Chains A and B, each alone.
Chain A
Amino acid sequence: MSVQTPDVVVARDVGMSYPTASGRFMALDRVSLTVGDGKFVSIVGPSGCGKSTLLQIIGGLAAATSGEILIDGVRIAAPHPDKIGIVFQEPLLLPWKSALENVEFPLALRGEPREARTARARDLLALVGLTDFADSLPYQLSGGMRQRVAIARGLVRKPRLLLMDEPFAALDEQTRTRMWGELLQIRAASRATIVFVTHSLVEAVYLADEIFVMAARPGRIIERIAVNLPRPRTIDMLGAPVLGALRNRIWNLIAEPQS
């Protein structure tokens, strides 16, 4: 499907370095990428390759020392909660608020009227399949459910872009696999553009349309891989040779000693 839609994310020569005891450390070195509208993009790489840093810069939570990020053509230097939703590794739900109150929190912060924001929050809880748990407190929910609430919160302001920083890393394998299916459903229903950072190669391949493979020291993108698995993705695809081949290809890229 090669329709010319505007790129949601454009990163140009993004660099991030900071001073350390032994000189400047290059966390990111001239990283450039684009993410098309409605695409699911994975960023994968070994520890220390700067993938989380890159995500933080895209989200406006950290500042690049060089280069620029454009979201829908707008330069990003601070959080833009109207354009960008973020889901972290920990759900970070406010423990004294119910699931509903957590989802509507971004709207409450803006002073939106109660009825409107509650309705919107309910819509999103329905989207993530948690309608019956609207009034539950986080401690009453399982890890996977909490993360779903976090995803709902990330989408509540109808952002163009959803950034996800290893959101399923803290979950056990079964829950994780189930969450993949959930996320893909949510994505299909909301048509959000997603940038997804992960350690897991299988997760990266299974979920994404495109994968950016990063290497460390300095952090940089070494390869862009298109995932030619059909949508909708199904569980049996996890055993498909195509997926395995892609995974191995990425593995070799990462495992190779980089010059």
Chain B
Amino acid sequence: MTRWPRRIVVTLVVVALWELLFRVGVLSPVIFGAPSLIWSAALKDGGTFLTAFRVTAGEMLIALAVAWVGGVAFGVLIGAAPLRSLIVAPILSGVIALPLIVLYPVLVAWLGIGTPSKIAYGAAAGFFPVALATVLGIRTIDARYAEMARAIGATPLQIVTQVKVRLALPAIVSGLRVGTSLVIISVIQSEMLSATEGVGFWISYHRALFNTGHVYLGIILVLVLAVVANAVLTALERRLGGARVLAQAVG
């Protein structure tokens, strides 16, 4: 716990140094901004940024929901059959390696410049790692558990939902993490490219006007969002607790 106070102190020192270098004239304000510039940007347009934050967060949450649910459902269906999972898994991992951002202009052409294209793109980007992790997770669980479940009278549906998915949960959760990070990145990128609202849009907007304070304010908001999302996911992982229990029992 002594990590956090130290980090706060370090951060404060950095901020102070940053402001100092700006005031002294060493750092160009256009490129590096300054804490005071960020502060005045917040005072001036804080409301707009907060609304934008809500929009961006909303897009991300919807995209996340689609990616998580769709990815896990797809992964469970595919992972249940050995041949299917062997065929599909490499395709999924191949897609993950692609610069899917090139597809975003296609989505804009189809869905317009507003929120739907961002959600669609974010959901698509997040879907693949979730699906892949689920397929691999379901595929690599010990087959004897399914046999045992069959022996005690579980229906095929019960075997999948109550045994297989639960056993694969640590793998699925790690896939959810990767998927979430991809959704965040994708929504931000798409907002930066073509949008009418959202934090990414405003960052780009103010960059074009050389309002560096605003740009850095937007960047900080995105970083905060990412850190919070990360913390929530870590907490989720820990609550499910499955990983530790499973590792000790099965390993």
Contacts and interface: CB of A to CB of B under 8 A. Distances in A.
B237 to A, nearest CB: 14
B245 interface: yes
B196 to A, nearest CB: 46
B153 A109 contact: yes
Interface of B: 144-145, 147-148, 150-155, 158, 162-163, 166-167, 241-242, 245-246, 248-250
B150 A110 contact: no
Given A94-B145, A138-B249, A86 B151 contact: yes
Contacts of A93: 249
A81 interface: yes
Contacts of B154: 109
Contact of B166 (A82, A94, A139): A94
A92 B246 contact: no
A61 B147 contact: yes
B153 A92 contact: no
Contacts of A59: 151
Given A90-B144, A109-B158, A96 B246 contact: yes
A94 B149 CA distance: 10
Contacts of A79: 150-153
A207 B144 CA distance: 26
A58 to B, nearest CB: 12
B148 A88 contact: yes
Contacts of A110: 153
A95 B144 contact: no
Interface of A: 59, 61, 79, 81-82, 84, 86, 88, 90, 92-96, 105-106, 109-110, 137-139, 153, 157
A56 B241 CA distance: 34
A157 to B, nearest CB: 8
A95 B246 contact: yes
Given A105-B152, A106-B152, A109-B158, A95 B163 contact: no
Contacts of B153: 79, 81-82, 106, 109-110, 157
A96 B151 contact: no
Contacts of A81: 151-153
Contacts of B246: 95-96
B144 A92 contact: yes
Nearest to A81: B153
User: Would you list the 5 A-B pairs with minimal beta carbon distance, nearest first?
Assistant: A81-B153, A95-B249, A139-B248, A106-B152, A92-B148
B161 to A, nearest CB: 11
B245 to A, nearest CB: 5
Nearest to B150: A79
